[in-house]
Each structure stands twice: as C-alpha cells, then as structure tokens.
Amino acid sequence: MSNELVVITGASSGIGEACARAFAKLGRPLFLGARRESRLAAVAQECERLGAPRAVAHALDVTDKASIEAFCTAAGTPSILINNAGAAFGRNSIDKLRDEDLTGMLDLNVTGLVRVTRALLPGMIAARNGHVINLGSYAAHGVYEGGVIYCAAKHAVRAITQIMRLELSGANVRVSEIDPGLVETEFSVVRLGDEGKAKKVYEGFQPLVAADVADAIVWVATRPAHVNISEIVLTPVAQSSLSKIHRG
Ligand SMILES: NC(=O)c1ccc[n+]([C@@H]2O[C@H](COP(=O)([O-])OP(=O)(O)OC[C@H]3O[C@@H](n4cnc5c(N)ncnc54)[C@H](OP(=O)(O)O)[C@@H]3O)[C@@H](O)[C@H]2O)c1
C-alpha cells in the first residue's frame, strides 16, 4: 500500500490511545488528535518507541470547525481514519437534561465525526484507497433510561456509517463501525464527573479494556483489500444487554 497513514481522533486516552499503540506496533505512521496536548504528545512519543516510523501529535477539538480544518490540513490523506473522539455527559432523563449536555454530546459525537470525515474523505476518494472506522457503541443497538442523547447520537453514527457505505459505492473506500459495550476507560469519569462513581460502573464483573477494542479495529483494518467488515459488536461476557450485567 502506498499510503499507510493512520489518523486517529481522541488518541490521548482509552480506545484511541490503544489503537495508536496497536497500529504503531504494525509499523504504521500515525497522525493523532485530541485536546490534551501534553498527554497526546506522550502517546505519540511512545508510539514511535513501539515501531511507528512517524507519530505526530496535533491539537484537535472536534467541536471546533477551525480546529478540525487545521488538523485535517496538517494530516494529509490517510489510508485509515479512526473516528474515535466521543463521550457521554451525564445520565439525566430528558426532563432533567442540561442544555450543555444535549448540545455537547451531539456536537462531539455526531457533528464532529461528520466534519472530520467530510474534510478527509475527498483525498481518500481521489486516491481510490481508504478505510473509515467509526466508533459507535452498543448503545446504537438499543436504548436505556438516562441515555437519551448518547443513545440518539450513537444511533445517528450508525445511520451515518451505513449511508457512507452507500454513497461510497464504487469509490474503493471501506467503511466500518465498531460498537463496544462496557469498556473501562476514562469514559465513565467524563460521564459522571466522579472517579468513585465511575469505578462502581465496572464493579463485580470484568469489563472490556481499551486494548480489546483496538484488537477488533486492527482486525477490521487488516482484512484483504476486497473485504469490508460492516460492523462489530463486542461486549464483556458479563454484559448480556445494555442493562443486563451479571455482577458476581
Ligand atoms: N468506554 C466505553 O464503555 C465505550 C463504549 C462504547 C463506545 N465508546 C466510544 O469509544 C470512543 C472512545 O471513548 P473511550 O472509552 O476511549 O473514552 P476516553 O478514555 O474518555 O477517551 C475519549 C477520547 O476522546 C477525546 N475527546 C473528547 N472530546 C474531544 C473533543 N472535543 N475533540 C477531540 N477529542 C476529544 C479525548 O481526548 P481529550 O479529552 O484530550 O480531547 C479522549 O482521547 C467514544 O466515541 C465513546 O463514545 C466507549
């Protein structure tokens, strides 16, 4: 493959960081984005140690149009784009939903993903080579109370992924979605704003770790060029549905 570049949004922690490490071990050049620049720089440095020929850390706020433009211009054309930046804010029911959580989740998980994709896709189409991998969620396969906007946002990501596959028919650009259940990352700390409450989410069972999800992403990205994996749903064995979790 002539262009090996892997672009990852939200690479400063969790699944994005695990993907960066995994692709570094495969010797792929990396272009990494997130808001926490010093953490991102440390991830990039570690990736070069692990085998990436080049790992660039570049500031990115996917809720800011100018930041996306600067990031995507500097990145160039990727062979793989991993749209990973995302989060949930709060667990409120719709009547108690805070306006900043409503707009914040949609801006980050939906608008941001679309804008990054819109900026980088033309290069992939022109090159007739590319793979867009969107981080959806198990929350795109059902609903739960307290997840009104997060579930809606991830359902939207799933629809966007499916529509992209239709629109890219004949373009030789692959489109995949990875939909994990409970993964112990900083996700719950961000969502609940409290380390103690976040720990409780994963109590009494073995959650997925970020490397489990990165494993699935690497597998999706390394199939033969004519194979497109549409979506993967992966959960901890203890998680039978969005709300049924066996805590031993
Ligand atoms: N953990 C789970 O249980 C789970 C399950 C299903 C799906 N997911 C999805 O997996 C993805 C990664 O989440 P994670 O679990 O790895 O959580 P995480 O550890 O909190 O990582 C989230 C990443 O997104 C970045 N990010 C957040 N806001 C951003 C913004 N405005 N602009 C750019 N980057 C931003 C964060 O970096 P900065 O803060 O430095 O910007 C961080 O690198 C998300 O899309 C999430 O919805 C997670």
Q: Is 124 exposed, middle or buried (0-12, 13-18, 19+ CB in 10 A)?
A: buried
Q: How far apart are CA 102 and CA 145, in angstroms?
A: 15
Q: Measuring from atom 45 of ligand 1, which residue has the nearest CA?
A: 86
Residue 89 resides in a domain: yes
Between the CA of 90 and the centroid of ligand 1 the distance, in Å, is 14
What is the number of domains present in the chain? 1
- Residue 192 has what pLDDT? 98
Atom of ligand 1 nearest to the CA of 139: 6
Q: Is 150 a catalytic residue?
A: yes
Residue 28 resides in a domain: yes
Report pLDDT digits (tens) over 85-117: 999 999 999 999 999 999 999 999 999 999 999
- Residue 219 has what pLDDT? 98
What is the domain range of residue 196? 6-234
Tens of pLDDT, residue by residue, the chain (248 residues): 446 999 999 999 999 999 999 999 999 999 999 999 999 999 999 999 999 999 999 999 999 999 999 999 999 999 999 999 999 999 999 999 999 999 999 999 999 999 999 999 999 999 999 999 999 999 999 999 999 999 999 999 999 999 999 999 999 999 999 999 999 999 999 999 999 999 999 999 999 999 999 999 999 999 999 999 999 999 999 999 999 999 99
Residue 224 resides in a domain: yes
CATH number reported for the structural domain that contains residue 111 in this entry: 3.40.50.720
207 in contact with ligand 1, CB cutoff 6 A: no
Residue 239 resides in a domain: no
Residue 241 resides in a domain: no
Residue 179 resides in a domain: yes
Residue 243 resides in a domain: no
Report pLDDT digits (tens) over 202-239: 999 999 999 999 999 999 999 999 999 999 999 999 99
Atom of ligand 1 nearest to the CA of 107: 31
- Residue 226 has what pLDDT? 97
- Residue 1 has what pLDDT? 42
Contact 125, 147 (CB under 8 A): no
- Residue 2 has what pLDDT? 45
190 in contact with ligand 1, CB cutoff 6 A: yes
Residue 246 resides in a domain: no
- Residue 220 has what pLDDT? 98
- Residue 235 has what pLDDT? 98
Between the CA of 142 and the centroid of ligand 1 the distance, in Å, is 20
Residue type at 37? E
How many CB atoms are located within 10 Å of the residue 248 CB? 6
Between the CA of 72 and the centroid of ligand 1 the distance, in Å, is 19
233 in contact with ligand 1, CB cutoff 6 A: no
